């Protein structure tokens, strides 16, 4: 005798499709024989099915996957998923809420192209040690494998710098709002080199300070 399994789901969600099942020839419900041994009344393995017209049907539509986000190691790839209603020869894009009763296809998945091997990793730079006239900042640099364990397989010549100079600009003197020239002829005081006296240094503060800064800068470059 021949025995057939139940029909599987229709191959098409809408419109015409087929349903299939497997058919075997059995004897005493134990061992299988070639189908010819059961005669010519073999049940059909396929049957047509129709889940109704596709026009007007609401469904999720998923685009093609993008390239993997990285060239090696574990990354991700994206695709667009939209809710549509099919029309004659086209479709309308709907609010995703219209398809909320259906299982939404994933819009992101993981991908892995090839192992990266060991490579250099570094932290962010620290704060500069000085605000002017040349300080330095540091960062931690390590060679790690794909599973983020320490490795010694990185190229030494590709190692990022662990220390660098920063804030190399000259320090600007602090401006004292009370340091002003009280006399119009302070240039004479400067030329006469009277800024060494407290009275003139106070009366012509701005002019005397400019001269002092120029002299300190000259001495610093010698």
State the residue for tokens 């080199």: 193
- In this predicted structure, the answer to whether residue 30 has a pLDDT above a threshold of 60 is no
pLDDT value for 148: 83
pLDDT value for 95: 92
- In this predicted structure, the answer to whether residue 91 has a pLDDT above a threshold of 70 is yes
| Residue 63 pLDDT grade (very low, low, confident, very high; cuts 50, 70, 90) | very high
Q: Which 8-state DSSP code applies to residue 35?
A: G
pLDDT value for 37: 62
* Neighbouring-strand partners of residue 46: 20
Paired sense of beta strands 16-20 and 31-33, if any: unpaired
- If one compares 66 and 29, the residue with the highest pLDDT of the two is 66
CA 16 to chain CA mean position, Å = 44
Residue 161: which residues within 8 A CB-CB, separation 6 or more? 141
- In this predicted structure, the answer to whether residue 71 has a pLDDT above a threshold of 60 is yes
Rounded Cα gap, residues 38 and 1, in angstroms: 5
Residues 164-210: tens digit of each pLDDT: 999 988 877 666 778 889 888 899 999 999 999 999 999 999 899 88
Mean pLDDT of the chain: 83
Residues 97-135: tens digit of each pLDDT: 999 998 999 999 999 888 888 889 999 999 999 888 889
Phi, psi of 185 (to 5 degrees): -105, 35
pLDDT value for 110: 94
């Amino acid at each position: 005798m021949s025995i057939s399994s139940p029909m599987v789901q229709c191959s098409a969600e809408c419109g015409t499709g087929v349903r299939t099942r497997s058919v075997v020839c059995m004897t005493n419900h134990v061992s299988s024989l070639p189908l010819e041994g059961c005669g010519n009344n073999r049940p059909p393995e396929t049957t047509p099915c129709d889940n109704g017209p596709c026009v007007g049907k609401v469904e999720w539509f998923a685009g093609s996957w993008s390239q993997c986000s990285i060239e090696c190691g574990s990354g991700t790839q994206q695709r667009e998923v939209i809710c549509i209603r099919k029309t004659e020869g086209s479709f309308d894009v709907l609010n995703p809420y219209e398809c909320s009763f259906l299982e939404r296809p994933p819009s992101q998945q993981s991908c892995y192209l090839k192992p990266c091997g060991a490579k250099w990793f570094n932290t962010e730079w620290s704060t500069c040690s000085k605000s002017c006239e040349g300080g330095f900042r540091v960062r931690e640099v390590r060679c790690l494998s794909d599973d983020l364990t320490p490795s010694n397989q990185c190229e030494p010549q590709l190692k990022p710098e662990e220390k660098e100079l920063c804030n190399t600009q000259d320090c600007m003197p602090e401006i004292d709002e009370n340091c002003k020239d009280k006399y119009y002829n302070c240039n004479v005081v400067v030329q006469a080199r009277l800024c060494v006296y407290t009275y003139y240094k106070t009366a012509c503060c701005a002019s005397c300070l400019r001269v002092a800064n120029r002299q300190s800068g000259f001495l610093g470059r010698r």
